[in-house]
Protein backbone atom coordinates (compact mmCIF):
# COMPACT_ATOMS: atom_id res chain seq x y z
CA UNK A 1 0.00 0.00 0.00
CA UNK A 2 1.26 3.44 -0.87
CA UNK A 3 0.23 6.66 0.84
CA UNK A 4 -0.92 9.68 -1.13
CA UNK A 5 1.31 12.70 -1.55
CA UNK A 6 -1.70 15.09 -1.49
CA UNK A 7 -0.08 17.27 -4.17
CA UNK A 8 -2.13 19.05 -6.83
CA UNK A 9 -1.26 18.02 -10.39
CA UNK A 10 -2.05 19.32 -13.85
CA UNK A 11 -2.50 16.53 -16.39
CA UNK A 12 -2.35 17.56 -20.04
CA UNK A 13 -2.45 15.39 -23.11
CA UNK A 14 -2.83 15.27 -26.86
CA UNK A 15 -4.16 12.27 -28.81
CA UNK A 16 -4.00 11.77 -32.58
CA UNK A 17 -5.81 8.96 -34.42
CA UNK A 18 -5.69 8.20 -38.15
CA UNK A 19 -7.55 5.51 -40.10
CA UNK A 20 -5.70 3.96 -43.02
CA UNK A 21 -7.92 1.51 -44.90
CA UNK A 22 -8.90 -1.15 -42.32
CA UNK A 23 -6.30 -0.12 -39.74
CA UNK A 24 -6.02 2.57 -37.08
CA UNK A 25 -2.77 4.25 -36.05
CA UNK A 26 -2.64 6.56 -33.05
CA UNK A 27 -0.36 8.29 -30.65
CA UNK A 28 -0.79 10.06 -27.36
CA UNK A 29 1.35 12.38 -25.26
CA UNK A 30 0.54 12.81 -21.54
CA UNK A 31 2.29 15.09 -19.06
CA UNK A 32 1.55 15.12 -15.31
CA UNK A 33 3.10 18.14 -13.61
CA UNK A 34 3.00 18.89 -9.87
CA UNK A 35 1.75 22.46 -9.45
CA UNK A 36 1.18 22.59 -5.67
CA UNK A 37 3.67 20.62 -3.59
CA UNK A 38 3.20 19.49 -0.01
CA UNK A 39 5.93 18.11 2.31
CA UNK A 40 6.73 15.52 -0.34
CA UNK A 41 5.35 14.52 -3.74
CA UNK A 42 5.75 11.92 -6.45
CA UNK A 43 7.79 13.26 -9.37
CA UNK A 44 6.50 14.71 -12.62
CA UNK A 45 5.57 12.19 -15.35
CA UNK A 46 5.97 12.13 -19.11
CA UNK A 47 4.25 9.34 -21.06
CA UNK A 48 4.07 8.62 -24.80
CA UNK A 49 1.99 5.90 -26.49
CA UNK A 50 2.08 4.79 -30.12
CA UNK A 51 -0.39 2.11 -31.23
CA UNK A 52 -1.61 0.16 -34.23
CA UNK A 53 -5.04 -1.49 -34.33
CA UNK A 54 -6.60 -3.93 -36.76
CA UNK A 55 -9.67 -6.16 -36.78
CA UNK A 56 -10.11 -9.93 -37.02
CA UNK A 57 -13.89 -9.55 -37.37
CA UNK A 58 -16.44 -6.78 -36.90
CA UNK A 59 -16.55 -7.52 -33.14
CA UNK A 60 -12.95 -8.62 -32.39
CA UNK A 61 -9.87 -6.43 -32.84
CA UNK A 62 -6.19 -6.59 -31.90
CA UNK A 63 -3.67 -3.91 -31.04
CA UNK A 64 0.08 -3.40 -30.72
CA UNK A 65 1.35 -0.58 -28.51
CA UNK A 66 4.68 0.99 -27.72
CA UNK A 67 4.61 2.81 -24.36
CA UNK A 68 7.36 5.05 -22.96
CA UNK A 69 7.15 6.47 -19.43
CA UNK A 70 9.62 8.75 -17.65
CA UNK A 71 8.95 9.60 -14.00
CA UNK A 72 11.02 11.80 -11.72
CA UNK A 73 12.02 10.67 -8.24
CA UNK A 74 10.12 11.74 -5.12
CA UNK A 75 10.64 15.38 -4.16
CA UNK A 76 10.86 16.17 -0.45
CA UNK A 77 10.54 13.80 2.49
CA UNK A 78 7.78 12.43 4.73
CA UNK A 79 9.02 12.48 8.34
CA UNK A 80 6.88 9.43 9.17
CA UNK A 81 8.97 7.35 6.71
CA UNK A 82 12.40 7.23 8.32
CA UNK A 83 13.36 3.55 8.50
CA UNK A 84 16.94 2.71 7.39
CA UNK A 85 15.75 0.72 4.35
CA UNK A 86 15.88 1.31 0.59
CA UNK A 87 12.12 2.02 0.32
CA UNK A 88 12.39 5.10 2.57
CA UNK A 89 14.92 6.79 0.27
CA UNK A 90 13.05 9.22 -2.06
CA UNK A 91 15.73 8.81 -4.74
CA UNK A 92 14.73 5.13 -5.15
CA UNK A 93 11.65 6.01 -7.17
CA UNK A 94 10.93 6.80 -10.82
CA UNK A 95 12.97 6.24 -13.92
CA UNK A 96 12.34 5.31 -17.54
CA UNK A 97 10.49 2.27 -18.92
CA UNK A 98 9.78 1.28 -22.53
CA UNK A 99 6.99 -1.32 -22.90
CA UNK A 100 5.64 -3.33 -25.79
CA UNK A 101 1.97 -4.26 -25.53
CA UNK A 102 -0.32 -6.71 -27.31
CA UNK A 103 -4.06 -6.33 -26.84
CA UNK A 104 -7.39 -7.91 -27.75
CA UNK A 105 -10.81 -6.16 -27.74
CA UNK A 106 -14.20 -7.87 -28.00
CA UNK A 107 -17.56 -6.13 -28.48
CA UNK A 108 -20.73 -8.01 -27.52
CA UNK A 109 -24.13 -7.49 -25.92
CA UNK A 110 -23.69 -9.22 -22.55
CA UNK A 111 -26.04 -7.08 -20.44
CA UNK A 112 -28.53 -6.23 -23.19
CA UNK A 113 -29.97 -2.81 -23.84
CA UNK A 114 -29.26 -0.45 -26.67
CA UNK A 115 -25.56 0.00 -25.78
CA UNK A 116 -22.99 -2.71 -26.43
CA UNK A 117 -20.35 -3.98 -24.02
CA UNK A 118 -16.60 -4.02 -24.64
CA UNK A 119 -14.10 -6.31 -22.96
CA UNK A 120 -10.37 -5.72 -23.43
CA UNK A 121 -7.15 -7.33 -22.32
CA UNK A 122 -3.60 -6.09 -22.89
CA UNK A 123 -0.26 -7.61 -21.94
CA UNK A 124 2.65 -5.18 -21.50
CA UNK A 125 6.25 -6.39 -21.41
CA UNK A 126 9.18 -4.05 -20.69
CA UNK A 127 11.76 -4.07 -23.47
CA UNK A 128 14.06 -1.48 -21.86
CA UNK A 129 14.11 0.11 -18.41
CA UNK A 130 16.37 2.41 -16.47
CA UNK A 131 15.10 2.75 -12.90
CA UNK A 132 16.46 5.37 -10.50
CA UNK A 133 18.87 3.83 -7.97
CA UNK A 134 17.70 0.72 -6.05
CA UNK A 135 14.37 -0.56 -7.41
CA UNK A 136 12.90 -3.80 -8.62
CA UNK A 137 12.56 -4.04 -12.40
CA UNK A 138 9.12 -4.22 -14.01
CA UNK A 139 8.26 -7.62 -15.42
CA UNK A 140 4.86 -8.23 -17.01
CA UNK A 141 1.65 -6.22 -16.69
CA UNK A 142 -1.80 -7.51 -17.61
CA UNK A 143 -4.56 -4.93 -17.94
CA UNK A 144 -8.19 -6.05 -18.14
CA UNK A 145 -11.05 -3.67 -18.86
CA UNK A 146 -14.79 -3.57 -19.32
CA UNK A 147 -16.77 -0.70 -20.83
CA UNK A 148 -20.40 -0.02 -21.60
CA UNK A 149 -20.29 1.71 -24.98
CA UNK A 150 -22.50 4.75 -25.57
Q: What pLDDT shows up at residue 40?
A: 76
pTM assigned to the model: 0.82
pLDDT for the residue 1? 42
Q: What is the pLDDT of residue 67?
A: 97
* Alpha-carbon gap, residue 94 to 75, rounded angstroms: 11
Which portions of the chain are predicted below pLDDT 70?
1-4, 77-88
**Residue 113 has what pLDDT?**
75
Amino acid sequence: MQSSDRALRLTTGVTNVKSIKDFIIGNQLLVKKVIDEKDWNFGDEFEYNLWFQGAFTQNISYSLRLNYKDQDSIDGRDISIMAPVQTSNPNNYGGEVLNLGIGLNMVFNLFGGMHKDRFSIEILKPIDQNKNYLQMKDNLTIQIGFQKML
